[in-house]
Structure 1
């Protein structure tokens, strides 16, 4: 473990750092890893280092050595590996961590003002606290300070953030003080009942930035840190890996006491993501990697930490990285791989690289500068990875050449099972920082063209993240100058919504797409024929067959287009770009989802090069489409849109398709916002389109009856459902005639209709045989029943002697509701019984014939 003194020269300059390494403690671990001492000697000497240096092997003793951060993880290691130790070693270690050892006859107690903590302390002997008592109330000031810090930690971590409170035993949570070579520790009393021990005075500990002084600062963050340990055990009995337990508690120090910044001592130490980016996230002690949780809480929200612990509570044996992925996927429309990629970018943008023009840490100017793998100054250049492993990174700085050529980066990563996420970060001479993820294929290969002219490029950074858990990843890369640029556009047979991604020498449609079989159509409050393409705009165009069109021209780093109140067709440039990185002026005027077209309208969260997309704005303005990732001016709105889409994907669907490969999906949900789910204008005549009559692709599932408008149905229309346990009936809305109906099966319609009405009848959730009606009856009655599943149905009638009189149903039927007429005109008066048998369900009811 290391601690670094940070002295700030200015808001963004780290002048120098002093090493506060716990040399002896680290040497013990090194000797064990090199096989020079046994595991027992390794563990025992670590306890000696913290609790009794008189017994420490003198090879590990250094004058004025520095304390370790927290002894909790060492205690956890001992408890997990206790079965490997001799009884004499167990007895020795137990003497150090026995919760009762500090309850001596000479000890005093003090209850915190908040009433939840009892502090036991001594004023004489080796564990004595400072006895200064400025207010003269008989309680040392130091003890009163610590009591206040724990009251605050409870109020903040439990009452404000909502973590589970630890049990408090006899009525007060126990706090002790001890002379030791550690800030503090949390130990188990019994079950989930814990006790915290603090250092007795924190004199001579590494400095921090608390305006009240280093001693108070160290006591504050230690209270927050150890109390977080006390809440952790409530979720999963400390069954998480030690690195995460300490990472999490160190994060809480800064969340609870933001101004102390004691954690700066760890992130400048060896093994941090800044000083050692090639070290795995799960390889260190955890303190130095607390920025992973800082990234998650700053990028998403502070509650992500509690969600992680709640997931651990419900899935205690889950891999820690799977837990990250579950929480990010289910609550934040993200995943671990994408989040870790962005985390690596944030780590690159610190200190002198910190910026306000790109997302990053709030305290990024004060963090250390991330170490580089190499700096590239001349081209062409071929390079390979530095030290790198699972869940780690390499940073490569790319300086511009003297000329104004663009730079092309080709990346080649090791194949599966390794997974890479690679980002290019650029800073121009005006200070604007942008980033772009290089799309990689299944072999982890990809390329990116830096389109900022080199006379305007200050530098670029290649941020290579390994986001998989396999060791041994390698990669190579090349950087070359480019005088021209080629890209390809993928086109479908039939109608396409497309765009031109680069500037060509001739932007006339006839020159670009001679294979087209229609005019190009643009949109400006109505469709218009277009002869010339504009960057950033989208167009309708038809082709007889699919093709990949190669284009050679000049790439642009961004394009700004005019947009009008209402619907507009736009197009990205030569890189795919998330819609959240499109900006507008005025801000926040985007009022719809983005829609592409692929044999039917489809929502989009990423705009693909060469494609066109509909988007609606609430006022006239401009829209800027970049080729790199920049901070969005409406990110909150886009997050809401994405969450709506996530809800839709699990909702009921009605899917329309034809023999030409066209497909349209309409959704039924309880969460309904027609303005968000409004579809773009109907495509030009004869282009396939399906939508509800109100111009939406989403309707309330409670409505039960819907009119659907159809266009461009040139062959048999097929309709099927997903996530919908119901019978659907199709009607001609003009004549009212039933066209078809089905329960779970596909419906085919051969009629040439431009409008249909759909009625939905929910399927039963159970088997039911209803009482006949009327009853008594003469001579006919109706028998109704419902089936929750498909099955072979037998419905029979018996007389009072048990003799079978009639078989009303004897066939396989789908789930649904049924009604059968029974005619007893030839039977005498009396009591009869009708019985149903289907799958494992059997039921009989009585009816009376009275003529």
Structure 2
């Protein structure tokens, strides 16, 4: 977005500030949706190429896209004697533009994509298979790739969902060729399937939860069709693969979402940055929250307006289902997809999920906020447990930079005979190292997001409980020497504002690494010297009138 002031040039005119927001949009139908930025580093990929066993057409186009969503190659098929061939020049990243990802760099992987002009459909090769081994060969064939290999794309692939015992959240990313009847779509797992549920957004008579029981009375099932774009909860009693043959969506496929919660599928580019996939509604301030669920690992959370380092969900997984909460209706929504270079800033680092979890179910609320012991923030990585009055563990929360990473508190799965989560309306408490906080929340089981400030009263062994360091110091800088990034670990015996700067040999400020209010504990900060010259620098750490420093060396 950008702003400018304007007036009509007369003496009595008033200045007006106009803000223009530019959103990613799909190219018009009939035009290849990919574009590439050329760089001085490139290699060549050669092979045969087909679509469901048949030769491509002249108007089709092919692309190589790196794992961050940057289009590294675009080309049309080479047609000869009734056959079609792939001949792509795949470009590398340009090191002189550190904020832009133009192509393959370092350990990047890439996938191959085809846009079929006749159906206006983009599709990945082999469901997004990732390739490694790109090299800058100055345009000669890249070693390690068989030039006689035929890359056969399919517009009617079979999507494979590897379901784990228990609940799974999946997305329907193609239109089932067998039709929309759940009994037909789920026929291959009828022996392992327990239930499936869906959700129709809105507030009208047809809105709300939908239910399917493969072993129940058919006329009681309210989930009577499953269609492209739907998110679905599926419970199975053992690990099983759900295979769904289907037709991929056209480039202009879209869905309607409602103000409030929506359960949707993601049918786009694999592991695409959520901030880019939802760029349109995020720019319009319509997205409140997005959550997903990984079987066996639990639910993840994204608040586009919150602190980025607290988001545990940063990438959209192909074939997954997502809960999306909007401020208002969004008609004709389609995910933004890779079309050219990518912003490096889109490669966000997610907040980690807890190392240990209680039983995870398809019913949960989220807790976020802060936690302190006698006024001091808990250290990075500290884990708190959400428990019921009778000490059933129903959630695990972690600390990052003084904040609680938004984490799920799980409810009881009513489809089991055991009590494996919090009951609706039950009080939930929070414990740290055996000490219970003064605050509690009521479990609602409706994806509620509750902000808390948890206060723990420590006994005389407070320092032991918190593992607070006794000395203000730089613990380590690794690597050192470095190029161009390194990581500094430092200890704070007391909470306060921390500043970290890089000073050159002439005593001048070269870069500000960190300025943030942090709690007592051990912390890490990333040093990025991409724009600095090689040499020796002084890393200076300051907080509360204290100052320590360490010499570091940048080698380029």
Whether these two folds match at TM > 0.5 is no
Q: Which structure is higher in RCO with an 8 Å CA cutoff and minimum separation 6?
A: 2
Larger radius of gyration: 1
Instruction: Please state which structure has a larger fraction of its residues in strand.
Output: 2
TM-score (norm 1): 0.30
